[in-house]
Structure 1
Amino acid sequence: MLLPHHGRYDYSAITRRPDYSWPDGKRLAVYFALNIEHFAYGAGVGHALSSELAPPDPRTFAWRDYGNRVGVWRLLELFDELGLPGCHLINTAVFDYCPDVLEPILARGDEIIGHGRTNAERQGQWWEADEARMLAEVRDAIARHGGRPPRGWMGPWMSQSRVTIDLLQEAGYAFAMDWPCDDQPVWLRTRNGRILSMPYSLEINDSPQILVRRHTGEEFAAMIVRQFEEMLRQSARQPLVLGIALHTMIVGQPHRLHALREALSHIVNHPGADRVWLARPGEIYDHCMTLPPGAIA
């Protein structure tokens, strides 16, 4: 029976793919994705810690805004403390609302990933021309404020229309992080070529785990450690990518930050660290481009 299919990639068992390694023979690439988001007041969609009130709901807006006023700074301090590279999934509304956030990111040499204009909107149901304009607007805003256009994209809420992947490739994006189908980078077909799918976990992600499934900060930190340990073991057979997705208003809260610090310290100080590549997604993409044809599924 033939079911409707997206046609972007074919089925591929990870156990039947060519073997390769990351730089210096490392087997597990780990990146840290910090979501830095800005929301409309009293309109649109957004993360919520508890039941939302009738608009304008200042308590929910203020809780989200804590991430930009406090949480992002605490998380950047933690990254500096542990010597971690970062990539930042930034709504371009941040550049106007809280431009101070950009300075330490650029000083660290971190990567900026396109993440829409605001997480108060999703583009999945837009007309194609409107979505194309937004992708170009985001690309150009990041180039203007960050010094170069982004190579990666993660849609607000991982939202996609039927042509998002086509539009991303046509707008010059090199990889997308919206398809959590694999632990290795894979190629996605577009109508004018291909774009790389970068693994981005819907599981090792504080938003669904803490806000939707109601796990505690300690439980989420334990998930990070267990995912890392198991993937490091599995990477003896295949090179893998572990993305750890964080949001400033969630793990930027002190009680959750405490647990997160222990989990990330576990990764940094692990006795098997010589097999681990702490990287940014763009660096993973660059290495994939050096591999022989057919190495990437």
Structure 2
Amino acid sequence: MSRDLSDFTLEREFVGYGYKNIDPKWPKGAKIAINFIAQYNVGSERSIELGDAETEYYLTELPIRARGKKGKDDLLENQYEYGTRIGVPRLLDLFKRQGVPLTWNMYTLAMEKVPYWVKPILDSGAEITLGGKRWIDLLDGVSPEEEDSMIRESLDKLQEITGDKTIPAGWFTDRRSNRTIRLYAQAMEDKGLPLLYSSDSCSDDLPFWTKSPVHDKGLLMLPFSYDVSDAKYNLLGNGPNTPQAYFKYLKDTFDILYEEGVDGEPKMMTILLHPHITGRGTRAYWLEQFLEYIKSVDGVWIARRDEIAKHFASVHPYDPKTAFGQTPKPVEDDKYPGPGKW
């Protein structure tokens, strides 16, 4: 089977929806759509046991400790282990207690190494998406052939472990290469699975259509944002790193996006979580305060990502004439009256 292993980078689109955003027509007139993604990645990160030169230190509590060091660092590994020993069950309990839907993004090597929590996650009714085989930086020395092989292996393994031949509907690789989207789109096509959406974009507050690397039906992007991710706790100097400050940032972001929805331009807010980070007690407590806050506000749709994708595609189906990267140009409307007409 012939495979295209070349780069597929999203065409750079600097205008987006322009002055007047498209109306996503969220269910029941909601002013904002909120969704949460939790990573199931512990055990799939870099480690000496897996043949890597060093222990993973990205998003650990002491990342500076490992800079420039090679070899095994047991202290850093312990921090990831916390994610599955304590963080996963704490998040499962929290979202069950609050009755809030959750999307779990799975890395299949983590599922193989730590299968204990897979059934509870499936039984929770969560959406299952796929990140690939390993949670590593795919721009760092991974060949196109190796990445393609890992993607296809992870797709088979996810279905084998879960027993569900209909998943995944969506992908979120996070630390992807410039060819990742093409490779998993091709793998899904070869397996006869529809790719409902990709989450590998940070470029908007709303879903948007772009070209597909495999067919002419388009690819729906459900963007996410690092600014409201719990990664901020462990990226020193890059945002709120206390639970109270994180809660305030989430609340302020929600309030601003909600007000834009009240003004006629509903948005989407995606919160990316890591069990080894937000699974810590105080952080989980303040995340729960945020959940309680958004549940107290009228006109909020809290949904899984596949639900958001299906809704958006039904309201705004793919049109190659208007998809991003095709015809970016200003339009005259009541918000932008046109050149010289302010």
State if a TM-score over 0.5 links the two structures: yes
Aligned mate of 2:309, from 285, 288, 291:
285
Segments of 5+ residues of structure 1 without an aligned counterpart are none
Aligned mate of 1:36, from 34, 40, 43:
40
Aligned mate of 2:95, from 76, 79, 84:
79
Distance 2:248 2:30 in 1: 24
Within 5 Å, which residues of 2 pair with 1:166-205? 166-172=182-188, 173-193=195-215, 194-205=218-229
1:72–1:248 CA contact under 8 A, matched in 2: yes
Residues 7 and 247 of structure 1: CA distance in aligned 2, closer, same or farther (over 3 Å): closer
Report the CA distance between 1:231 and its aligned residue.
0.9
1:140–1:149 CA contact under 8 A, matched in 2: no
String of CA shifts for 1:60-80, please: whole Å, max 9, x gaps: 101111010101111111101
Residue 230 of structure 1 pairs with residue 248 of structure 2:
no
1:8 is matched with which residue? 11
Report the CA distance between 1:198 and its aligned residue.
0.7
1:108 is matched with which residue? 124
Residues 266 and 222 of structure 1: CA distance in aligned 2, closer, same or farther (over 3 Å): same
Residues 63 and 7 of structure 1: CA distance in aligned 2, closer, same or farther (over 3 Å): closer
Distance 1:291 1:206 in 2: 31
The SS at the match of 2:39 is strand
Deviates more, 1:11-20 or 1:92-101: 11-20
1:122 is matched with which residue? 137
String of CA shifts for 1:235-269, please: whole Å, max 9, x gaps: 13223111011110111111212221111111122
The SS at the match of 2:292 is helix
Report the CA distance between 1:123 and its aligned residue.
1.9
Distance 1:52 1:141 in 2: 34
Distance 2:76 2:148 in 1: 31
Deviates more, 1:145-154 or 1:67-76: 145-154
- Number of residues of Structure 1 aligned to a counterpart in Structure 2: 287
Which letter maps to 2:172?
A: M
Residues 126 and 108 of structure 1: CA distance in aligned 2, closer, same or farther (over 3 Å): same
The SS at the match of 2:285 is helix
The SS at the match of 1:249 is helix
Distance 2:88 2:306 in 1: 21
Report the CA distance between 1:160 and its aligned residue.
2.8
2:232 is matched with which residue? 208
Report the CA distance between 1:292 and its aligned residue.
4.0
The SS at the match of 1:129 is helix
Which letter maps to 1:263?
A: F
Report the CA distance between 1:44 and its aligned residue.
5.1
Distance 2:230 2:60 in 1: 13
Segments of 5+ residues of structure 2 without an aligned counterpart are 1-7, 49-53, 189-194, 325-342
Aligned mate of 1:248, from 275, 289, 307:
275
Report the CA distance between 1:220 and its aligned residue.
0.9
Which letter maps to 1:47?
A: L
Matched-pair identity in %: 24
1:123–1:159 CA contact under 8 A, matched in 2: yes
Residue 23 of structure 1 pairs with residue 27 of structure 2:
yes
Q: TM-score, normalised by structure 1?
A: 0.88
2:167 is matched with which residue? 149
Which letter maps to 1:151?
A: A
